[in-house]
Structure 1
């Protein structure tokens, strides 16, 4: 087949090297990245009322809002993809709740025929401070999974504040109490900074009593507009994960996202060989901005411009379906660089089966391109987590 392509290319005046490169980029993409999406991230608005110290959003000061026609185009893309798989529709930043209940409801309506057939489910990630009874009614009516961003007890939330510098903690807790009073279940995501990572037990104590179904810990990274804060040391990351693993082994009821990912991977690896599968394909995570512009691989790339890569946009959902974009996504420079990096990871990194190459955005924001073999995320959230578990196993009697 490759030889036939080469012959056709020569007849049409296309160089042999160009055809070889195209074939290679496509093959690499299909080796590592799925052409189907199980998650799509939508930006209902760019505006965010908060001014968190580590925020990566480049347009959080502007109110640019998604129209229902754009949401309808995304719904049409899910229809175009077909198949029985459920697609998770994630509403994410700015602060989605600044769109207002009625505008948000209008964005949901195009997806409702799909939801009625069990083809989509909704998730929203919110800073929590704008949650009210009407929002809880909407979450319940449309079957939302709600994620609340909160970093722990009040002292751990010093980086979360509004534009006037006023702490956000009390408002976040009021929103959480509203969720609990309305019977709306939620998960939590906490950013762990260099100032809080040395106090894992105090943070875990807080989340054990918060009422969340689970918590995910995002160790602070270089992302988007957040590139100037001091990095977290790998040794501190290992100590943090070790403390959480030890608590779990001692009977803590706290469900930590990262621990369950690791323990699930270990269980799968220890199962019968007939039940094991190769490494999963990387989820493309198409992320649709307020105006329909779409990036893949990392939601943090939305709205970012680069001298080398432009705006990372591979298409606009108002003019082209997501499946059509994914069919040619390997041609984008940043996507091809990322799959080249994944090739190196798969061939040389002992953590690859668990890590799967980590996040594309981290590579760019830390190194300025997508070819770097390792990032802080790789080290602190994947490798040090594995090493912490290894230490506890070695020390067991």
Structure 2
């Protein structure tokens, strides 16, 4: 039996946000060329699978720009038609424009983004202004028919306010996807934001009870 296959394409490691617990690199980092996308298509053209899912990730994949996706999506969709490719995108949504949203909507691309709870809690660990920029992108996505789901990163600090965070997701009707902050590669204190396994276990029990 053939198995589904998942490919992650990272158009750039750059990111405009500077989340305290993240390793993200300079926004001016190099961006993937369309020639590389064609090479990906060639690499996969003889692959045998029931279906393939291609996720654009990063860094911040929207930094690649509208022209990149206008070219890349047909190359992959048509060139790998025998694999029935579906697409996904993981983004903070800051750079989303109506033009890009319309391109993604043509391919029914679901969008994953990140919000760590109410604005105050979110911006304490993701940076001032992050929440409003992401929610502005969220509105553009929704206006253009895109499905957006948020992932919440719990740190050793935000976990102390888990009830506020849970209620935020509940009241806004957002599905709660989560992951724990890992030790940062760029911090002088790698465990400054990291959520210890025991605390993560207690969080999971709390959420399951709720």
TM-score tier, shorter chain, comes to 0.7 to 0.9
Given the alignment of the two structures, is residue 218 of structure 1 paired with residue 183 of structure 2, yes or no? no
| Partner of residue 328, structure 1 | none
State how many pairs are aligned: 205
What's the counterpart of residue 44 of structure 1?
11
- Structure 1 unaligned blocks of 5 or more: 1-35, 248-397
Shift of 1:124: 0.8
Of 116, 121, 128, which residue of structure 2 is paired with 1:156? 121
Provide the C-alpha distance between the structure 1 equivalents of 2:85 and 2:186, rounded to a whole number of angstroms.
31
Q: CA 1:210 to 1:98, structure 2 compared with 1: closer, same or farther past 3 Å?
A: farther
The within-5 A match list for 1:11-160 is: 38-57=5-24, 59-83=25-49, 85-114=50-79, 116-117=81-82, 119-157=84-122, 158-160=124-126
The normalised TM-score by structure 1 is 0.48
* Alignment of 1:168 onto 2:134: no
Q: For residues 75 and 225 of structure 1, do their structure 2 counterparts lie closer, same or farther at Cα, with a shift above 3 Å needed?
A: farther
1:199 correspondence with 2:166: no
Cα separation, partners in 2 of 1:38 and 1:113, compared to 1, 3 Å: same
Higher strand share: 2
CA distance in 1 between counterparts of 2:38 and 2:62 reads 19
- Give the secondary-structure state (helix, strand or coil) at the position aligned to 2:54: strand
What RMSD, in angstroms, separates the aligned Cα atoms of the two structures?
Answer: 2.2
Contact kept? 1:68, 1:110, Cα under 8 Å: no
Alpha-carbon distance change, 37 to 54 in structure 1, aligned in 2, over 3 angstroms: farther
**What secondary structure does 2:46 align onto?**
helix
Per-residue deviation, residues 229-255 of structure 1 (Å, max 9, x unmatched): 3332344223211221011xxxxxxxx
Query: SS at 1:183's partner residue?
Result: coil
Give 3-state SS (helix, strand or coil) of 1:80's partner. coil
Runs of 4+ in 1 over 4 A off after TM superposition: 114-118
Q: Distance in 1 between matches of 2:157 and 2:107?
A: 38
- In structure 2, the partner of 1:307 is none
Is the CA contact 1:56–1:225 (under 8 Å) kept in the aligned structure 2? yes
Decide whether the 8 Å contact of 1:151 with 1:191 is kept in 2: yes
Secondary structure of the structure 1 residue equivalent to 2:138? helix
**1:27 — aligned with what?**
none
Q: Shift of the alpha carbon at 1:223?
A: 5.2
The residue that corresponds to 1:186 in the other structure is 148
Structure number with larger C-alpha Rg: 1
- Change in Cα spacing, 1:82 to 1:129, as seen in structure 2 (3 Å) is same
